[in-house]
Structure 1
Amino acid sequence: MSKIGGRITTHVLDTSKGVPAAGVRIELYFVQKDVESESKLKVTESVTNGDGRLDAPLLDGGGLEQGIYELHFDVEEYYATRSTEESMQALWTVVPIRFAVSDTASHYHIPLLIAPGGYSTYRGS
């Protein structure tokens, strides 16, 4: 079976609670750059399910192009649905993660680990 194309996936974990982060809105952008300017083209958006994952890849089936992509995780909206204390402690509004796609047949899994005072990411599998 041959690969049709690569894909972009993600998941979000709330490390302050040790649980998946359900209900996080995620937007995917393709970044177009030249010498003098930069623009972002919105590709898609989705919301994490009860397991902190998306029901489908953000991009797959041959739509993946070489270039720069950026994920926007709306963590302000996520924390607004939590306790007042958590909501008041949350520093971040939107967490942007910019990454380069060089192999259009690869799987780019970009997880986000969040807490009211910090976040981290890595290339998953």
Structure 2
Amino acid sequence: MARAEASPLTTHVLNTGDGVPASRMALSLHRLDHNLLVWSLLTVGTTNEDGRCPGIIAREAFTPGMYKLRFETGQYWESMNQTTFYPYVEIIFKITDPDQRFHLPLLLSRFSYSTYRGS
């Protein structure tokens, strides 16, 4: 993981069904290679006790392009002996100005999720 203070991309996963942060959820960040039309893995991480994953990517590695943030929601729910309809959630987004900060929260329950671009 990149250093937390240098990351232009942040996330916060909230288990809205239980009203708690979604801690210990595995996630990964990918970038689309436009020439090959395949996703390249950039980094992996796990949410902390507050449901955040600091330092996802360093500013110098964050360039314009198409990205995917994948959350391993099935493993998260299984770790709590619960089932879910969604085995994973992928948020695909396009970066045109990497000098901005981007916050991508994931609001999650076992049978629904939502996301938005924060700042």
Common fold: TM-score over 0.5: yes
After the TM superposition, list the runs of 4 or more consecutive aligned residues in structure 1 that deviate by more than 3 angstroms.
none
Counterpart residue number, 2:66: 68
Q: Deviations over 1:9-36 (max 9, x none)?
A: 11100000111000110100001235xx
Counterpart residue number, 1:94: 88
| Contact 2:7–2:55 (Cα < 8 Å) also in 1 | no
The letter for the 2-side match of 1:62 is E
| Contact 1:6–1:104 (Cα < 8 Å) also in 2 | no
1:118 positional shift: 0.5
Q: Deviations over 1:67-108 (max 9, x none)?
A: 00001000001000114xxx23x1011100000001111111
Relative distance call for 1:69 and 1:115 in structure 2 (3 A) is same
The letter for the 1-side match of 2:97 is D
1:50 positional shift: 0.5
Q: Deviations over 1:30-80 (max 9, x none)?
A: 01235xx620110001100000011x2211231111000001000001000
| Contact 1:29–1:43 (Cα < 8 Å) also in 2 | yes
Q: Note the residue ranges of structure 1 that are not aligned, 5 or more in a row.
A: none
- After TM superposition, the structure 1 = structure 2 runs for residues 1-125 of structure 1, keeping only pairs within 5 Å, are 7-34=8-35, 38-54=37-53, 56-83=54-81, 87-88=82-83, 90-125=84-119
1:6 positional shift: 6.5
TM-score (norm 1): 0.85
Aligned length: 114
Work out which of the two has the higher radius of gyration on C-alpha atoms and give 1 or 2.
1
SS in 1 for 2:59: coil
TM-score (norm 2): 0.89
Measured on the aligned residues, the alpha-carbon RMSD in Å equals 1.5
| Contact 1:16–1:114 (Cα < 8 Å) also in 2 | yes
